[in-house]
């Protein structure tokens, strides 16, 4: 009679335990559920954020008769680009756009030039009280701008530049340089000192080190600050209505207020003016998006 062979059992594997594959499958399902939940939540938040923008874009291309007959929240039954021409010409958005660019472009260039020079001196040389100077520059940005409206207005009148675009440029430069210096100081300070020492051995002076070595290495930070400063200055309203009085000198943000007063019930024209005002900042951000992200990543690493 042949003896039956007992079933073999793996040594060390307790009986009654589930195979490891079940645990791995549960972990994969849980990870997929968390990923799906994250994407669903992010998608809903993005939709909630994009919904007002989409409403403005759709309203800007609808006719007044369509909005008056069916309501602004209804499905659009018309399409026209005449609203943009009306806001640009009759609403004065074209002239206001020129004023905004006259203020914004020189302010960004001058602010970054002064801030980069100050940050270069404070970060690369052992200057006396350099930490105090940096804190003083940064502390100026901690003051609420509302408490400085009257002093800035009175000072511009005393100097004789009130109601001029030069006054607005000076104010924007003065209140922005401190923050730009603080940001650029961190980038320039992280540049290895050996690079500057090698340039000094080769006979380079401070200006050559600044322009040919430090500035190219700080390009991601400068690009990120360019996009941010352009957005802040172009969209500013508070300082514009503080130092300017004449309607023909107002930037586009202040012109939107006049456009709303001029076209009280023409929401399609007002929406078109809002799209015109937002277009330059969107274009600048898209142009510097790669450098902007690189600057943020570099700042996180540093």
* Model confidence pLDDT, tens digit, residues 158-189: 988 888 999 999 999 988 898 899 889 888 88
pTM: 0.80
Closest by CA position to 133, among listed 142, 124, 121: 121
- Distance of alpha carbon 260 from alpha carbon 23, whole angstroms: 62
* Model confidence pLDDT, tens digit, residues 187-215: 888 888 888 888 888 888 889 999 999 99
> What are the sequence ranges of the domains in the chain?
87-301
CATH number of 87-301: 1.10.3720.10
**Residues of the chain under the 70 pLDDT cut:** 1-23, 291-302
Alpha-carbon distances of 212 from 5, 37, 96, 183, 217, rounded to whole Å:
84, 49, 38, 20, 9
């Amino acid at each position: 009679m042949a003896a039956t062979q007992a079933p073999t059992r793996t040594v060390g594997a307790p009986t009654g335990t589930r195979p490891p594959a079940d645990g791995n499958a549960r972990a994969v399902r849980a990870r997929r559920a968390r990923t799906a939940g994250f994407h669903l939540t992010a998608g809903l938040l993005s939709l909630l954020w994009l919904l007002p923008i989409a409403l403005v874009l759709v309203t800007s291309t609808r006719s007044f008769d369509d909005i008056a007959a069916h309501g602004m929240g209804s499905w659009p039954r018309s399409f026209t680009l005449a609203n943009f021409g009306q806001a640009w010409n009759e609403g004065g958005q074209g002239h206001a756009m020129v004023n905004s660019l006259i203020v914004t472009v020189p302010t960004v260039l001058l602010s970054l030039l002064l801030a980069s020079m100050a940050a270069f001196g404070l970060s690369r040389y052992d200057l006396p009280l350099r930490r105090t100077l940096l804190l003083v520059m940064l502390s100026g940005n901690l003051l609420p701008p509302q408490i400085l409206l009257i002093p800035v207005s009175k000072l511009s009148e005393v100097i004789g530049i009130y109601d001029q675009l030069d006054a607005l440029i000076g104010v924007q430069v003065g209140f922005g340089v401190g923050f730009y210096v603080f940001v650029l100081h961190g980038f320039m300070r992280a540049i290895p000192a050996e690079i500057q020492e090698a340039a000094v051995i080769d006979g380079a002076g401070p200006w050559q080190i600044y322009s040919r070595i430090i500035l190219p290495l700080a390009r991601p930070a400068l690009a990120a600050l360019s996009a941010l400063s352009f957005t802040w200055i172009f969209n500013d309203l508070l300082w514009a209505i503080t130092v300017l009085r004449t309607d023909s000198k107002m930037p586009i943000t202040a012109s939107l207020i006049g456009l709303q007063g001029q076209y009280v019930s023409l929401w399609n024209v007002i929406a078109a003016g809002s799209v015109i005002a937002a277009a330059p900042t969107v274009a600048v951000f898209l142009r510097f998006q790669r450098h902007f992200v690189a600057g943020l990543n570099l700042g996180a690493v540093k």
